[in-house]
Amino acid sequence: MSQNSTSRLSIRIFRESIKKYHLLDKVNQTFENPYPVDSLEHLLYRKNWIDTVQWHYEDLIRDPDIDPVEGMKLKRLIDASNQDRTDTVEFIDSFFLNQFNDIEVQRDARVNSESPAWALDRLSILELKIYHMEEEANRKEASELHREKCNTKLKVLLTQREDLVSAIDDLLKDIASGSKYMKVYKQMKMYNDEDTNPVLYKDKS
């Protein structure tokens, strides 16, 4: 796979995942990944599915009339989803680390502030914004003013997509040429860890 195609491939897979989710539009629907387990496509599809489900969790939890117990259940689901999202991003970075393992890094190579996978994470969220903004821009029962505002926002999102695609492609090219190198820090989230969250470890002592 050429480096130039990675971001475009990602968009296609993200949109495929989003479209599949909205056939049922239910957060508890069964997840099925159509791609081989050892492929980048598999990781990208899984990544966006997590984001898509969480997008709708976030919608549900903002219901002003939500039952507090149900709200807390949703909060737990969102926490678990965030951890799953982070884990999947790290799997994607591991894929790239392996892909670029044999690249000879130039002596003056620079490290990027963001890894390829975290850039693709932003692209996945951006595709969700585009999908839902398109919905709002075309919502027939909404006012003309609402649709116009959403169309204006949609144009900005589409421009942002092109900029991000260019940035991702450039980053992957630079890594492939050895002018930049990957340095990945595992996320050290503390609030889910019974050894680092005081609320969780206070009862263990």
Q: Which pLDDT belongs to residue 1?
A: 44
Residue 204 lies in a domain: no
- The answer to whether residue 199 is domain-embedded is no
- Report the percentage of the chain scoring pLDDT > 90: 86
pLDDT digits (tens, 9 = 90+) for 10-47: 999 999 999 999 999 999 999 999 999 999 999 999 99
Residues, the chain: 205
* Segment 139-172, tens digit of pLDDT: 999 999 999 999 999 999 999 999 999 999 999 9
Residue 201 covered by a domain: no
Q: Give me the domain span that covers residue 159.
A: 3-194
Number of domains in the chain: 1
Asked if residue 203 is part of any domain, the answer here is: no
Residue 181 phi/psi, 5-degree rounding, is -135, 160
The reply to whether 120 falls in a domain is: yes
Residue with structure tokens 């965030």? 82
pTM of the model: 0.90
Tokens 């980048």 found at: 40
Question: How far apart are alpha carbons 149 and 145 in whole angstroms?
Answer: 6
Residues 199 and 205 sit within 8 Å (Cβ to Cβ) = no
